[in-house]
Structure 1
């Protein structure tokens, strides 16, 4: 497993190719590959400079990227662009401040098709949360297999305070604010 900070930009083309392969396949097949490539590459250029940015990359025996995880420390005040406004609306300002601001935000987790079922997604999450137990992520509510995977590996949803949206928020198993059963 390789770990990166801003030096991830040295493999940006390769990581972007892997990202497009994951996030234009089901259930994201409605996404245009070139638009997805352009948008991710631009975001990566900015994200790599965020406070606390980290990336974990796993490679296959032939050197190709098999899986990746990127994230950073969630800044305050909490953003409202992209899906963040929906998160704020769903959880409410108090929960967002208590659970997400200052926590490690897992932005992207992807495992390429040939590496699925190997435990790689779990290992990537475990590496990130070993370093940052107070972690969170969000996913699309139509990514049913992804949602089932997060629940299977112990990630939990905080109690909603607002209306449903097309995203779900999950807290790491060791997040101090994670619900207890």
Structure 2
């Protein structure tokens, strides 16, 4: 299966809401996420606000007109946000690195690929579609430390971990994009 990857506007992405919801449930319904229909519905409600964020960009992976994946990204504001998972990120990196590495950078918020489309290049195509135009390479994302497959995918795609898992294997992992100027400054695990 060769996915048709398209960069789309926020309104175009929202016109595929049911397909986005279906892929959300497929991608995040199992371990380690365990998210159900109420989470997918919540994501769609949040997405209607997210499309208005400064620097918002999105991409769809389609098989015909069927959504098999999507990605969203935007510009991380300064000052660094204090809602959602942001305080954990700032605590892990420290205020100076957070401001220098993440604020003003392209933040990949969501990337999801249907299980039937994994291994086809759809994920890599979506990731490139929402980050490839960033001339300075300043892109970042976060994922759960427990999401081993996702973390391995990002590392294969050239993304560098900027935080390291707690001994418990819980928490969040921040990744810097392959062309992010600070990726060589990210601390390496012992």
TM over 0.5: yes
Asked whether 1:36 is paired with 2:39, we answer yes
1:27 and 2:29 matched: no
> Cα offset for 1:5?
2.3
User: Is 2:58 aligned against 1:55?
Assistant: yes
On the 8 A contact 2:162/2:173 being kept in 1, the answer is no
Identify the residue that residue 167 of structure 1 maps to in structure 2: 172
The residue correspondences of 1:65-84 to structure 2 (distance < 5 A) are 65-84=67-86
TM-score by length of 2: 0.85
Of 104, 107, 110, the match for 2:109 = 107
Which blocks of at least 5 consecutive residues in structure 1 are unaligned? none
Q: TM-score, normalised by structure 1?
A: 0.89
Deviation at 1:123, TM superposition (A): 1.6
RMSD value, Cα: 2.1
In structure 2, stretches of 5+ residues that fail to align are: none
Distance in 2 between the 1:137 and 1:150 partners?
9
- Of 146, 151, 158, the residue aligned with 1:147 is 151
Q: For residue 162 of structure 2, what is the aligned residue in structure 1?
A: 158
Deviation at 1:163, TM superposition (A): 10
Paired position in structure 2 for 1:94 = 96
1:159: Cα distance to partner?
5.6
Asked if residue 45 in structure 1 is aligned to residue 83 in structure 2, the reply is no
